[in-house]
């Protein structure tokens, strides 16, 4: 197939329109949230958005799990803003996650900094911000909070849980630990186990934050300075891994930002200007401690490292769609293949596709038609057609120009 640079600009119809982020209290002293670490949280608020309408049977809900630095605002437009949510190209009327058909729920992660309880929230027990006293969290804790939000919304079972990158890890964890609460899981550009190199990139980003003098052992939240230098550096570094080498070459090559070379200490090449901009804008929307807490969750995620990891889901099978992108080197296709091997090895129904895209890891956020068509078709296949739930037969998707691979 050809590279999808053309199709990603195909115009979209109107989206979900005006939306707002709401808050739900999902843990209180009578219903504390027990964490994997052994700690518990007496108060947890979750920021979330919903798009579309829940059917009377409550059987059309789709949960969106965000990646490392996402938030609840996945689609539509906030009052007074013009930029839509971070996954607006896939969620909306007639879009791949079609809000004419599905009731879509999107929430901000525990430990995040966009409305859900995290290290920048107030600890009610002390009246102070949590800071580094916020407990260590785990992928399971994310899923637990998602399920509490579901209960708050009156949803017992999701038609699908969908996520890219760390969002895909949540979808995977959810399917393994609570398979009775979802029918389908869509796992895009994810990993079940970071490599040493993956951890290395996260580690250098964290070190840039922690070693920034303004981090002040994590007490910066009480001060008027923040380790912005460290956070920018971490973000710039991460962005190198989000694009493929070819995408960098295509986007920037060796062009100079100001026409003529300005050899010296500042920005000169266009790629430097891009990274600089990414580092700066990130400061307006993210918190250094949240960055540390959330990257750590990814480092430790290793669900198949536990004996019996698939026992629950084998007893109550979930249908899987695993998607990766050929030029993704943040989580290369080998990561997705490992997920597929484990799931197929347990006899679970898995569809696996590698999409050709020159954009690397960032492809999961892009409107690449074969990718979106695939997600649309997977969500629309009636549950009844997936009869052999514990068989190795994956649902068949006609007419997609994607490469299907199953690699054991």
Active site residues per annotation? 165, 328, 361
Does 280 engage in binding with its own copies (CB under 8 A)?
A: no
Mark the segment that binds its own copies (CB under 8 A) among 165-173, 179-187, 227-235, 392-400: 227-235
Does 193 engage in binding with its own copies (CB under 8 A)?
A: yes
Position among 201, 320, 353, 371 found at the interface with its own copies (CB under 8 A)? 201
Position among 58, 251, 338, 341 found at the interface with its own copies (CB under 8 A)? 251
Nearer to its own copies, 65 or 236 (CB): 236
State both tokens at 312: 């629950």
Greatest Cα pair distance in the chain: 65
Total residues interacting with its own copies, rule: CB under 8 A: 53
Mark the segment that binds its own copies (CB under 8 A) among 62-70, 116-124, 180-188, 191-199: 191-199
User: Backbone dihedral region of 253: left (phi > 0), alpha (psi from -120 to 50 degrees) or beta?
Assistant: left
C-beta of residue 99 within 8 angstroms of C-beta of residue 92: yes
Does 390 engage in binding with its own copies (CB under 8 A)?
A: no
| Closest distance of CB 35 from its own copies, Å | 12
Nearer to its own copies, 82 or 284 (CB): 284
For 108-181, list the strands marked E by DSSP: 122-123, 128-129, 158-164
**Strand bridging mode 122-123 / 91-92:** unpaired
C-beta of residue 52 within 8 angstroms of C-beta of residue 104: yes
Nearer to its own copies, 292 or 323 (CB): 292
Q: How far is CA 65 from CA 13, 24, 157, 292, in A?
A: 24, 17, 15, 19
Nearest Cα to Cα of residue 319 among 267, 396, 256, 242: 396
- Binding letters toward its own copies, positions 256-275, x by CB under 8 A: -----x-xxxxx-xxxx--x
Residue 235 annotated as part of some ligand binding site = yes
Nearest Cα to Cα of residue 113 among 365, 283, 228: 283
State both tokens at 55: 């059917």
Q: How far is CA 39 from CA 123, 129, 136, in A?
A: 14, 17, 8
Does 361 engage in binding with its own copies (CB under 8 A)?
A: no
Report the alpha-carbon distance of residue 333 to residue 154 in Å, rounded: 37
Residue 362 annotated as part of some ligand binding site = yes
Nearer to its own copies, 107 or 257 (CB): 257
Does 203 engage in binding with its own copies (CB under 8 A)?
A: yes
| Closest distance of CB 132 from its own copies, Å | 7
Crossing angle of helices 166-177/139-153, nearest 10°? 70
Does 197 engage in binding with its own copies (CB under 8 A)?
A: yes
Does 39 engage in binding with its own copies (CB under 8 A)?
A: no
Alpha-helix runs per DSSP H in 157-252: 166-177, 196-210, 228-242, 245-251
Position among 253, 281, 285, 396 found at the interface with its own copies (CB under 8 A)? 253
Judged on CB neighbours under 10 Å (0-12, 13-18, 19+), 258 is exposed
- Binding letters toward its own copies, positions 293-322, x by CB under 8 A: ---x--xx-x--------------------
| Closest distance of CB 55 from its own copies, Å | 41
| Closest distance of CB 263 from its own copies, Å | 5
Helix (H, G, I), strand (E, B) or coil at 91: strand
Binding positions are 235, 362
Site for its own copies, rule CB under 8 A: 37, 132, 136, 193-197, 199-201, 203-204, 206-208, 210-213, 218, 229, 232-233, 236-237, 240, 243, 245, 248-249, 251-254, 261, 263-267, 269-272, 275-276, 279, 292, 296, 299-300, 302
Query: Which residues line the annotated binding site for substrate?
Result: 235, 362
């Amino acid at each position: 197939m050809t590279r999808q640079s053309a199709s990603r600009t195909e115009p979209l119809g109107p989206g979900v329109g005006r939306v707002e982020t709401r808050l739900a209290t999902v843990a209180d002293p009578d219903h504390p949230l027990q964490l994997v670490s052994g700690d518990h949280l007496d108060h947890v608020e979750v920021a979330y958005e919903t798009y579309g309408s829940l059917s009377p049977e409550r059987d059309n809900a789709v949960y969106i799990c965000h990646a490392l630095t996402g938030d609840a605002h996945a689609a539509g437009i906030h009052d007074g803003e013009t930029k839509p949510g971070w996954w607006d190209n896939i969620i909306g009327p007639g879009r791949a996650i079609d809000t004419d058909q599905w009731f879509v729920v999107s929430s901000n992660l525990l430990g995040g900094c966009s409305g859900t309880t995290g290290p920048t929230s107030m600890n009610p027990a002390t009246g102070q911000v949590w800071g580094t006293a916020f407990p260590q969290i785990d992928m399971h804790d994310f899923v637990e909070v998602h399920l509490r939000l579901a209960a708050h919304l009156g949803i017992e079972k999701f038609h699908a849980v969908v996520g890219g990158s760390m969002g895909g890890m949540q979808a995977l964890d959810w399917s393994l630990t609570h398979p009775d609460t979802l029918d389908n899981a869509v796992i895009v550009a994810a990993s079940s186990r970071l490599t040493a190199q993956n951890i290395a990139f996260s580690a250098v980003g964290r070190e840039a934050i922690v070693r920034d003098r303004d981090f002040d052992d994590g007490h910066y939240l009480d001060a008027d300075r923040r380790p912005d230098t460290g956070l920018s550096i971490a973000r710039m570094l991460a962005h190198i891994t989000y694009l493929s080498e070819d995408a960098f070459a295509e986007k920037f090559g060796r062009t100079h930002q100001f026409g003529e070379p300005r050899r010296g200490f500042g920005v000169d090449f266009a790629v430097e200007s891009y990274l600089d901009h990414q580092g700066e804008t990130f400061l307006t929307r993210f918190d250094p401690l949240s960055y540390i807490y959330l990257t750590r969750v990814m480092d430790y995620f290793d669900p198949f490292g536990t004996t019996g990891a698939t026992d629950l889901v084998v007893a109550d099978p979930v249908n899987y769609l695993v998607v990766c992108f050929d030029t993704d080197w943040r989580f290369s296709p080998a990561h997705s293949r490992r997920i597929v091997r484990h799931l197929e090895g347990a006899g679970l129904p898995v569809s696996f596709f590698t999409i050709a895209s020159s954009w690397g890891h960032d492809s999961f956020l892009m409107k690449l038609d074969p990718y979106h068509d695939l997600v649309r078709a997977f969500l629309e296949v009636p549950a009844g057609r997936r009869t052999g739930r514990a068989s190795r037969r994956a649902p068949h998707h006609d007419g997609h120009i994607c490469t299907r691979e199953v690699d054991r």
